[in-house]
């Protein structure tokens, strides 16, 4: 689908005119007009010629831009007004037009994305092929569903939502609706479940399905599937999903019959852990900080195999060196309260992109068991991979997509190259009054944290609300402990996905409130300011360190100064921050200039910007390599299919 020419003033005025016309209509007439539009679009769909190029998001017919789109937006705007009492801002109508044309709308935080998504969703749902609204977690999916469900009901469209706790029958019902809300990963897992069902189904003779259709008989194979064809999706936080998490695979796993590991197998994990503790760094192994990998030296190889030769009773599921490599990774690379947490006697993984805890995830090939041995918790059986797909490849299964995010322009070229998506920036409804304070630099983590705590105490004494963004759970706990010792009341969020997180983050704008949030915990929840907080300068965001991706930094500071509210932000940087692990020269320069004078004003912003650009380019190269591998696989499968025919 080609992006439409952007004519904001004309488009907004036309939608306003349509809404004014519909304001005089009763509800029944709105439903009737919706059905007429649906019939018209389906008629166009039936008579549309097949596409010349079936690659990626141009595989099938999509409703084209016309007066019908403007009319559909006017209908949805009026339905929202009647059910919520809210009128769309001009910028929301502009963003709706961009999304309906199949592009990415860069819409700043707090500008009303939930209502905005209703415009393209309604337009695409009229085609009757299903429309997915993909959010980053189950709470946001349910919240957005509940917000717009009355509007869709008024217009006569069916709408449902999915989550991980639903059974197959409930999900099937939700997927058969015109519109389905859900977390992006759950859409992916259901797709994998359907692929497994299709592979395991008995093969039908050629023409049997068509004959069954002529007889009016049901096709059991299709009825057994959870979802249906992936037609269109609106993706929230599009840059995070399409860029940051593009190479992270969705893995559908199943556990062995016994959840506990047999004694002979568990001994192999413990034996590998013992030998890993005996190996010496540099002499027996080296740690590569760039890709977080372990490389055994010839001496290390000799030592581990010598140990294995002395333990012939060990039963191995893979090479002995893999067990030792996992044990070394568990002890030398994976950190508690950074990469994982231990809760209720189990190891739970922390998502490095979002800072959220995922109890249902596990590392593969014995690494999870190596961490369990390290932490001395119960060792469970390894998960058996049943199906997997990268997010990038899964998204490519949709006929068309669009998305919203507040930080898309920095990734505009990549979105264009990989997904054929244009990025259009939407102006804010009100002028932004965000103030950026000069960054502060320190020689070590200890002095940086002491200054952060001092800054929080000073601002808290004046009643200013604060949001402290940390990269790791360990850091959030450390700052929390320091504030407890100082008697500063505060709240700490560690990435659990539920309503309580949203409730807590929503209180961050109250006078004197101090909220510590790991990475982007509570993202998607509006932080409202009281009048007293506005008089005190609005929400102040303290970033405890820079992220390797500059877009994540902007996402954090974008939590404050929304919708014309006042607000400010400041970064605190230490020479010992993880960002500088790959550039020891810059770390040494910061440490040397800040030693003994931590509060002196230095400026390393240009060097940090260059470093982030370099790291982002490296990440881009990895994603490009994965994309080339996917394209190669597509060509191979296409060749095999042709030869089979």
Lowest mean pLDDT among 5-14, 72-81, 303-312, 361-370: 5-14
Per-residue pLDDT, 177:
96
pLDDT (tens digit per residue) in 137-173 = 888 899 999 999 999 999 999 999 999 899 999 999 9
At residue 193's C-alpha, the angle toward residues 192 and 195, to 5°, is 60
pTM over cut 0.75: yes
Please report which confidence band the pLDDT of residue 55 belongs to, taking 50, 70 and 90 as the band edges.
very low
Per-residue pLDDT, 644:
46
Mean pLDDT rounded to a whole number for the chain: 85
Residue 274 pLDDT greater than 90, yes or no? yes
Residue 175 pLDDT greater than 50, yes or no? yes
Please report which confidence band the pLDDT of residue 312 belongs to, taking 50, 70 and 90 as the band edges.
low
* Cα 341 versus chain centre, distance: 20
CATH topology of domain 433-604: Rossmann fold (3.40.50)
Per-residue pLDDT, 438:
93
* Cα 407 versus chain centre, distance: 13
Residue 233 neighbours by CB distance under 10 Å = 24
- Report the sign of the C-alpha dihedral through residues 78, 79, 84, 90, in that order: negative
* Domain boundaries, given as residue ranges, for the chain: 8-251+391-425, 259-381, 433-604
Per-residue pLDDT, 218:
54
- Nearest of 444, 326, 402, 329 to residue 106 by alpha carbon: 402
Q: Is 560 annotated as a binding residue?
A: no
For tokens 């070394």, name the residue: 328
Residue 117 neighbours by CB distance under 10 Å = 27
Per-residue pLDDT, 61:
44
Q: Is 110 annotated as a binding residue?
A: yes
Per-residue pLDDT, 344:
87
Q: Is 92 annotated as a binding residue?
A: yes
- Report the sign of the C-alpha dihedral through residues 112, 118, 123, 129, in that order: positive
Residue 257 pLDDT greater than 60, yes or no? no
Q: Is 205 annotated as a binding residue?
A: no
Per-residue pLDDT, 40:
87
**44 or 523, greater pLDDT:** 44
Query: In the predicted model, what is the mean pLDDT of residues 428-441?
Result: 93
Query: In the predicted model, what is the mean pLDDT of residues 277-296?
Result: 86
Q: DSSP secondary-structure letter at 430?
A: S
Residue 551 DSSP SS3 = helix
Q: DSSP secondary-structure letter at 602?
A: -
Residue 516 DSSP SS3 = strand
Q: Is 182 annotated as a binding residue?
A: no
pLDDT (tens digit per residue) in 587-637 = 999 999 888 765 557 889 999 999 999 999 988 888 888 778 777 776 766
Q: Is 71 annotated as a binding residue?
A: no
Residue 476 pLDDT greater than 50, yes or no? yes
Same fold, 259-381 and 433-604: no
For tokens 């979002």, name the residue: 354
How far is the C-alpha of 588 from the C-alpha of 471, rounded, in Å?
22
- Report the sign of the C-alpha dihedral through residues 391, 394, 396, 400, in that order: negative
Q: Is 112 annotated as a binding residue?
A: yes
Per-range mean pLDDT, top range of 81-85, 243-247, 347-351: 81-85
CATH topology of domain 8-251+391-425: Rossmann fold (3.40.50)
Q: Facing residues of 384 across strands? A: 254
Please report which confidence band the pLDDT of residue 469 belongs to, taking 50, 70 and 90 as the band edges.
very high
Per-residue pLDDT, 2:
46
Residue 56 pLDDT greater than 50, yes or no? no
Per-residue pLDDT, 289:
67
- Nearest of 45, 217, 36 to residue 129 by alpha carbon: 45
pLDDT (tens digit per residue) in 513-569 = 999 988 665 566 678 888 999 999 999 999 999 999 898 899 889 888 888 899 999
Q: DSSP secondary-structure letter at 243?
A: I
Q: HSE-up of 535 (CA within 13 Å, CB side)?
A: 6
Angstrom distances, CA of residue 257 to CA of 160, 371, 638:
34, 22, 37
Q: Which 3-state string (H, E, C) describes 149-209?
A: HHHHHHHCCCEEECCCCCCHHHHHHHHCCCEEEEEHHHHHHHHHHHHHHHHHCCCCCCCHH
Q: Does domain 259-381 have CATH number 3.90.1440.10?
A: yes
Residue 290 pLDDT greater than 80, yes or no? no
């Amino acid at each position: 689908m080609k992006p439409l020419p952007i004519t904001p003033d004309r488009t907004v005025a036309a939608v306003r005119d349509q809404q004014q016309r519909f304001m005089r209509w009763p509800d029944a007439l709105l439903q009737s007009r919706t059905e007429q539009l649906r019939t018209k679009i389906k008629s166009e769909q039936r008579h549309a010629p097949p596409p010349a190029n079936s690659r990626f998001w141009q595989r099938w017919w999509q409703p084209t831009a016309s007066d019908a789109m403007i009319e559909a937006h006017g209908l949805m705007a009026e339905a929202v007004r009647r059910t919520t009492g809210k009128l769309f801002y001009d910028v929301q109508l502009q963003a709706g037009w961009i999304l309906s044309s199949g592009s990415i709308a860069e819409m700043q935080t707090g500008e009303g994305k939930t209502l905005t998504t209703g415009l393209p969703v309604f337009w695409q749902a009229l085609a009757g092929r299903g429309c997915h609204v993909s959010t980053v977690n189950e709470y946001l999916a349910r919240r957005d569903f509940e917000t717009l469900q009355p509007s869709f009901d008024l217009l006569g469209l069916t709408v449902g939502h999915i989550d991980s706790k639903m059974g197959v029958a409930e999900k099937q019902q939700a997927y058969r609706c015109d519109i389905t809300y859900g977390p992006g990963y759950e859409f992916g897992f259901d797709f994998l479940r359907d692929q497994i069902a299709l592979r395991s189904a008995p093969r039908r003779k050629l023409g049997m399905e068509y004959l069954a259709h002529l007889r009016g008989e049901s096709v059991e194979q299709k009825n057994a599937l959870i979802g249906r064809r992936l037609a269109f999706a609106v993706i929230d936080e599009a840059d995070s999903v399409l860029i940051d998490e593009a190479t992270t695979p969705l893995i559908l796993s199943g556990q062995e019959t016994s959840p506990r590991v047999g004694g002979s197998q568990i001994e192999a994990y413990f034996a590998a852990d013992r030998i890993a503790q005996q190996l010496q760094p540099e002499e027996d192994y080296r740690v590569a900080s760039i890709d977080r990998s372990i490389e055994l030296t010839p001496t290390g190889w000799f030592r581990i195999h010598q140990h294995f030769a002395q333990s012939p009773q060990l039963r191995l599921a893979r090479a002995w060196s893999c067990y030792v490599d996992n044990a070394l990774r568990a002890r030398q690379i994976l950190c508690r309260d950074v990469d994982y947490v231990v809760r209720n006697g189990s190891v739970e993984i922390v998502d490095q992109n979002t800072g959220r805890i995922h109890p249902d995830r596990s590392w593969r090939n014995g690494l999870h068991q190596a961490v369990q041995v390290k932490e001395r918790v119960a060792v469970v059986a390894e998960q058996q991979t049943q199906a997997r797909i990268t997010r990038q490849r899964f998204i490519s299964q949709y006929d068309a997509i669009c998305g919203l995010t507040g930080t898309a322009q920095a990734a505009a070229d990549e979105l264009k190259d990989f997904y054929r998506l244009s990025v259009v920036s939407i102006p804010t409804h009100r002028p932004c009054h965000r103030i950026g304070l000069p960054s502060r630099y320190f020689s070590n983590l200890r002095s940086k944290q002491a200054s952060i705590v001092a800054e929080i105490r000073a601002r808290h004494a004046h009643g200013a609300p604060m949001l402290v963004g940390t990269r790791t759970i360990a850091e959030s706990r450390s700052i929390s402990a320091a504030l407890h010792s100082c008697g500063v009341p505060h709240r700490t969020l560690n990435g659990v996905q539920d309503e309580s997180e949203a409730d807590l983050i929503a209180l961050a704008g109250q006078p004197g409130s101090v909220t510590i949030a790991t990475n982007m915990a509570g993202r998607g929840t509006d932080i409202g300011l009281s009048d007293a907080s506005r008089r005190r300068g609005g929400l102040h965001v303290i970033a405890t360190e820079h992220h390797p991706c500059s877009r994540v930094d902007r996402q954090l500071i974008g939590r404050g100064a929304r919708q014309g509210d006042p607000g400010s932000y400041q970064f605190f940087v230490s020479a010992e921050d993880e960002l500088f692990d790959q550039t020891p020269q810059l770390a040494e320069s910061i440490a040397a200039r800040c030693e003994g004078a931590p509060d002196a004003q230095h400026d390393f912003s240009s060097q940090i910007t260059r470093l982030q650009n370099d790291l982002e380019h490296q990440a881009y190269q990895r994603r490009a390599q994965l994309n080339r591998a996917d394209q190669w696989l597509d060509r191979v499968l296409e060749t095999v299919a042709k030869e089979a025919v």
